[in-house]
Amino acid sequence: MGGGRTGPRDRRRGVFGWTPRPGPAVLGKRGRTDPGGRAGPRREPRRDGSAGHGPHPRRERRGGGAGERRPGGCGRPGGGVVPPPSPRAPPPSRRGDLAAATRHAGGVTSALLDWYEPRRSPGTYPWRTSPSDPYRVWVSEIMLQQTQAPRVAAAFERFVERFPDVAALAAAPRSEVVTAWGGLGYNRRAVALSEAAREVVATCGGALPVDPSALSKLPGIGPYTAAAVASIGFGVPVPALDTNVLRVVARWRLGSEPHGLRAAPIRRAAAEAVDRKRPGDWNQAVMDLGRTVCRPVPRCSECPLAPECRFLASGAQPERAPRRQGAFEGSTRQLRGRIVALLRTQPSAPLTAVAETSGRSMDQVLTTVRRLAAEGMVEADAAALRGEPDGRVRLSG
């Protein structure tokens, strides 16, 4: 790609007398040109790492059949996989050391995917199906946000059997969704899942969006979950950066612990390393590798990335940052869980029963009930919101 950075003494006049500001790179002499010779605008890279050519993410994207269009990058109703656009590979890094690592990444990536192959079957985790079902991927990723995989595996099949697709989840009363969420904790995720399903039905006819930026606008979905659903469910080549992936990429590609780097270089390295043909498998492989092998104290002898790991080659010692978690016993989180657990077993309960069951004071119960009501988790009558002992509370419908 020709051209370089323009400086104060190196400005070039455009076709209509426009003088570019110092700083931005100039492509060739006039930038990208159309058949008429006019300088065309330079498109910024999209969040999925593509060069920005092809259909704009805000425009309609093709759906299931020929000529069918769905708004907002929606997928196919019923969870079918929509073939993603063919993005251009990201531009090579300007850092010489990272570019050198990129040239050797193909063989190591193949070894990584070979290492992951026996772990990708549904026997390992029930949401790992082939081909991937975007709905199951979405539900599993929401469950995995703050709950360990073995607990999720025990609850996942029961949940998707009760709510087999987006439409069924959207049609269910919120109280049923929260009840089915039992055992997973952090019940706000169930409320967000219900709200997101209703939004997808209303805007996309029950088909999850394909584009990560559209997914991230749904309740309960942040950048990581959006990238995971897009890559695993739809094959969009974008890295899903959780704590494990950040650690693996920082060590493998940049030779450092992640807390010693800024986020931007790690994101750039991950975008260059992600496998363009199997991005979902690549993301899950790196997640599993970080969870089981490239841990805070790594087991490098078992790692398929060891031959090209810059951290291992440097001889650096892992630094385990201290991690503290607040005590659960006596916490507000514990009280929230007890209130929801009680309301799962009966249509409604008075504040006095909630206080007796939870072992907390009426003031603590009232404060927590008001918060749960504001979040849409529970419904409280006027007497309960005023703090009257006989006021009743129930799960939101």
CATH number at residue 191: 1.10.340.30
**pLDDT attached to residue 283:** 96
CA distance 305 to 301: 10
- pTM above the 0.85 mark? no
Helix axes 149-162, 134-144, angle to 10 degrees: 140
**pLDDT attached to residue 228:** 96
User: What are residue 61's phi and psi, to 5 degrees?
Assistant: -115, 145
Cβ atoms 169, 220 nearer than 8 A? no
Domain assignment present for 303: no
Domain assignment present for 249: no
> What is the extent of the structural domain holding 9?
1-39
**pLDDT attached to residue 65:** 36
Domain assignment present for 91: no
CA distance 47 to 50: 7
Residues of the chain with pLDDT under 70: 1-73, 75-107, 320-326
Domain assignment present for 227: yes
Q: How many structural domains is the chain composed of?
A: 3
**pLDDT attached to residue 234:** 96
Helix axes 263-273, 96-103, angle to 10 degrees: 20
CA distance 107 to 57: 33
Domain assignment present for 266: no
Catalytic residue numbers read 141
Domain assignment present for 323: no
Cis peptide before 35 (omega within 30 of 0): no
Domain assignment present for 20: yes
Domain assignment present for 355: yes
